[in-house]
């Protein structure tokens, strides 16, 4: 059985990013085996992220914005991002960039195979695949079981979306402004919005997103997209040049950092997803860079990518609201941005705020359920303010 220093199981954003960051610290330990059942040549994701400073893959971003828009009933706002920039990366660009980068290193091997199971023997990690078994000092896995996560979660919904990249015959978009939220569509007691990423005056990704427990039939997404393009954007002549589809779990489930001593979870499986928004790309970069640094410094790669207690609490409340009354999300997110501005909101969503900043954000929203709703936590009804005090006390210990 051939042994490697590290095996990366699953070569999506998390697996490839980890390999990239390991290359930047000199491949501590030596060889790496990359395993995936796909060649990763299809554009299966589009990642958006905001930042105040440089991020690892800024150079391959397809789109860059300094302004974002939010549309809600009776409220249309365009924000200048000031110190922040919003960027968009297509998965094909990320996959190709990292694979081309790794091709120059003899330490990296690739295997196209189905992964059957992971196990540990004699202080080593072992992965059994359709092409044989392989062992390593550490195995990094981005594989997760959605059914298992749902069963173990107290709160669980899905962010599901379908997008069309369309080209028009006349100018229809402002390529300087990304519309992160257009809440003017019918909510159906769920949080629903349209996301628009213009590439030029005649080309844009128009995406319909829903936060709910169940998916729609495929035609449901298509009907909404068609209606929005033709009635709201008033575009009668266009062609669809690409499609995007995805489902992201949004849950209060605590993702285990590892399974045993030698099998480490990364990506969604490792807790990098932001429970209340679904944003994960920048969190993946932070986590995989930390893992690479730990290995370089000859420490076990054990680091928690889950949100801390305070932010888990905030996410739990938002998830609870979206599960019970998803339509209330329109007012929450609209007021959050309108009363605080994107810089404060982005910092809050990045979990880089201090407690006093968070309290100011929360207190700016008098109708926000942080202050008045009862949330179901720990199997019983509790007052969120009392719960918040408990969380803060625990963090301070």
pLDDT in tens, 159-217: 999 999 999 999 999 999 999 999 999 999 899 999 999 999 999 999 999 999 899 99
Give every CB contact of residue 354 below 8 A, 6+ residues apart in sequence. Answer: none
Encoding tokens for residue 227?
């209606």
Work out the average pLDDT over 83-105. 96
Is residue 87 packed enough to be buried (19+ CB in 10 Å), middle (13-18) or exposed (0-12)?
A: buried
Query: Within its chain, how far is the Cα of 10 from the centroid?
Result: 16
The reported pLDDT for the residue numbered 89 is: 97
State yes or no: pLDDT of 372 exceeds 80.
no
Give 329's pLDDT tier (boundaries 50, 70, 90). Answer: confident
The reported pLDDT for the residue numbered 376 is: 47
Q: What percent of the chain has pLDDT over 90?
A: 75
The reported pLDDT for the residue numbered 396 is: 53
Listed in order, strand segments (DSSP E) in 142-173 are 156-168
Give 316's pLDDT tier (boundaries 50, 70, 90). Answer: confident
The angle subtended at Cα 96 by Cα 93 and Cα 102, nearest 5°, is: 135
The reported pLDDT for the residue numbered 378 is: 43
Q: Is 278 left (phi over 0), alpha (psi -120 to 50) or beta?
A: left
Query: Within its chain, how far is the Cα of 40 from the centroid?
Result: 19
Cβ atoms 332, 368 nearer than 8 A: yes
The reported pLDDT for the residue numbered 331 is: 86
Work out the average pLDDT over 42-59. 92
Classified as helix, coil or strand, 149 is helix
Instruction: Please state, in angstroms and rounded to a whole number, the distance separating the CA atoms of residues 318 and 209.
Output: 17
The reported pLDDT for the residue numbered 41 is: 85
The reported pLDDT for the residue numbered 154 is: 85
Question: What is the distance in angstroms between the CA of the first residue and the CA of the last residue of the chain?
Answer: 47
Q: Which of 335, 214, 222, 315 is nearest to 274 (CA)?
A: 315
The reported pLDDT for the residue numbered 322 is: 84
Enclosing H/E stretch for 386? helix 384-396
Classified as helix, coil or strand, 204 is strand
Give 382's pLDDT tier (boundaries 50, 70, 90). Answer: very low
Mode of pairing for the β-strands spanning 156-168 and 238-251? antiparallel
The reported pLDDT for the residue numbered 332 is: 86
pLDDT tens digits, residue range 222-280? 999 999 999 999 999 999 999 999 999 999 899 999 999 999 999 999 999 998 888 99
State yes or no: pLDDT of 343 exceeds 60.
yes
State yes or no: pLDDT of 395 exceeds 60.
no
DSSP bridge pairs for 65: 86
Higher pLDDT, 390 or 376: 390
Structural domains of the chain, with CATH: 3-144+255-296 (3.50.50.60), 152-250 (3.30.9.10), 309-396 (no CATH)
Cβ atoms 254, 154 nearer than 8 A: no
Question: For residue 93, which phi and psi values (nearest 5 degrees)?
Answer: -65, -45
């Amino acid at each position: 059985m051939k042994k490697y220093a590290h095996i990366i199981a699953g070569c999506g954003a998390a697996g490839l990013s980890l390999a990239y960051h390991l290359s930047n610290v000199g491949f501590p330990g030596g060889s790496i085996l990359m395993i995936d059942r796909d060649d990763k040549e299809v554009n299966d994701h589009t990642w958006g992220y905001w930042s105040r400073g440089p991020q690892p893959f800024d150079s391959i971003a397809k789109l860059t914005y300094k302004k974002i828009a939010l549309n809600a009933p009776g409220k249309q706002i365009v924000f200048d991002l000031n110190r922040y920039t919003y960027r968009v990366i297509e998965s094909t660009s990320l996959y190709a960039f990292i694979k081309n980068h790794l091709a120059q290193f003899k330490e990296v091997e690739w295997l196209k195979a189905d992964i059957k199971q992971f196990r540990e023997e004699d202080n080593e990690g072992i992965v059994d695949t359709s092409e044989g078994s392989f062992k390593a000092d550490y195995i990094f896995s981005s594989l997760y079981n959605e059914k298992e996560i749902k069963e173990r979660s107290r709160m669980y919904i899905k962010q599901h979306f379908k997008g069309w990249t369309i080209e028009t015959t006349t100018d229809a978009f402002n390529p300087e402004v990304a519309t992160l939220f257009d809440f003017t569509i019918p909510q159906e007691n769920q949080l629903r919005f349209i996301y628009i990423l213009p590439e030029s005056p005649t080309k844009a990704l128009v995406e319909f997103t829903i936060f709910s427990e169940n998916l729609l039939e495929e035609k449901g997404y298509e009907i909404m997209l068609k209606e929005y393009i033709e009635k709201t954007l008033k575009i009668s002549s266009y062609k669809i040049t690409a499609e995007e589809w995805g489902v992201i779990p949004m849950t209060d489930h605590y993702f285990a950092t590892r399974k045993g001593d030698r099998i480490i979870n990364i990506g969604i499986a490792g807790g990098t997803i932001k429970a209340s928004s679904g944003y994960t790309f920048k969190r993946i970069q932070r986590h995989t860079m930390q893992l690479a640094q730990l290995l370089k410094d000859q420490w076990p790669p054990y680091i928690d990518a889950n949100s801390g207690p305070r932010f888990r609490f905030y996410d739990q409340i938002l998830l609870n609201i979206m599960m019970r009354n998803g339509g209330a999300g329109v007012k929450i997110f609209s007021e959050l941005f309108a009363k605080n501005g994107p810089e404060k909101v982005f910092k809050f969503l990045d979990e880089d705020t201090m407690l006093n900043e968070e309290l100011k954000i929360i207190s700016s929203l008098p109708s926000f359920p942080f202050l008045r709703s009862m949330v179901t936590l720990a199997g019983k009804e509790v007052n969120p303010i009392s719960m918040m005090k408990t969380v803060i006390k625990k963090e301070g210990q």
